[in-house]
């Protein structure tokens, strides 16, 4: 089928968008088909395991996109403190443009995965690890040692993830920008104070 790729991608994209906004349980297969403008038969053709398969594909697609964004921001920034502010600014912009509906693309799936499958949990875990590794790599470029880079990357990932939750509750991007600024100040100091 010539549209194998595009239809599958459209379905995964639509599913990802709806899971991100409303959650997994609250999203019906018909909502996904309608948003993807895809015929009913296409869903089970591309995703023989139905909604679970869609969730895994949606997570992988969103995870890869986020990873590209982190890597882009890492390459564009003058140091890892700047990277955190840049990445958080981008997330804050997305939140604002979506009326505070679009936070982390994996958060709702993560909170619901226990009711879905171990395979989904494993996929989510790998994606979070890939984001943390990309942050840690940029920290190492600033000559922070591997252990410290990993610890700060973990703290950065957790604080951005949590700030996205608080931003949705408060309906302002302030928590994301503030957490990033505080963290960037701390990381900037560590970079300045590192042994020459």
Site residues, a copy of itself (CB under 8 A): 21-26, 100-101, 103-104, 106-108, 110-115, 121, 124-125, 128, 151-152, 154-155, 157-166, 168-171, 175, 178-179, 181-183, 186
Q: Report in angstroms how near the CB of residue 120 gets to a copy of itself at its nearest.
A: 9
Closest to a copy of itself by CB, 38 or 57? 57
Closest to a copy of itself by CB, 41 or 147? 147
Asked if residue 21 lies in contact with residue 102, where contact means CB atoms within 8 angstroms, the answer is yes
12: its two tokens: 């995964």
Q: Report in angstroms how near the CB of residue 157 gets to a copy of itself at its nearest.
A: 7
H and E: helices and strands count for the chain: 9, 0
Closest to a copy of itself by CB, 4 or 182? 182
Give the DSSP per-residue string, 9-76: HHHHHHHHHHHHHH-STT--HHHHHHHHT--HHHHHHH-TTHHHHHHHHHHHHHHHHHHHHHHHHHHH
Closest to a copy of itself by CB, 38 or 128? 128
Q: Report in angstroms how near the CB of residue 109 gets to a copy of itself at its nearest.
A: 9
Q: Report in angstroms how near the CB of residue 62 gets to a copy of itself at its nearest.
A: 13
Distance of CA 89 to CAs 111, 163, 175, Å? 25, 12, 11
């Amino acid at each position: 089928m010539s549209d194998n790729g595009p239809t599958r991608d459209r379905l995964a994209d639509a599913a990802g968008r709806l899971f991100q906004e409303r959650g997994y349980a609250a999203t019906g297969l018909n909502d996904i088909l309608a948003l993807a403008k895809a015929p009913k038969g296409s869903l089970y053709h591309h995703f023989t395991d139905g909604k679970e398969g869609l969730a895994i594909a949606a997570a992988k697609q969103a995870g890869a996109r986020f990873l590209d964004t982190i890597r882009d921001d890492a390459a564009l920034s003058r140091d890892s403190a700047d990277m955190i502010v840049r990445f958080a600014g981008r997330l804050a912009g997305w939140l604002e443009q979506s009326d505070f509906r679009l936070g982390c693309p994996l958060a709702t799936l993560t909170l619901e995965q226990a009711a879905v499958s171990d395979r989904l949990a494993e996929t989510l875990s790998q994606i979070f690890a890939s984001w943390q590794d990309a942050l840690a790599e940029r920290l190492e470029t600033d000559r922070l040692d591997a252990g410290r880079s990993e610890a700060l990357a973990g703290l950065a990932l957790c604080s951005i993830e949590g700030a996205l939750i608080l931003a949705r509750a408060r309906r302002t991007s302030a928590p994301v920008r503030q957490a990033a600024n505080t963290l960037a100040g701390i990381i900037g100091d560590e970079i300045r104070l590192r042994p020459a």
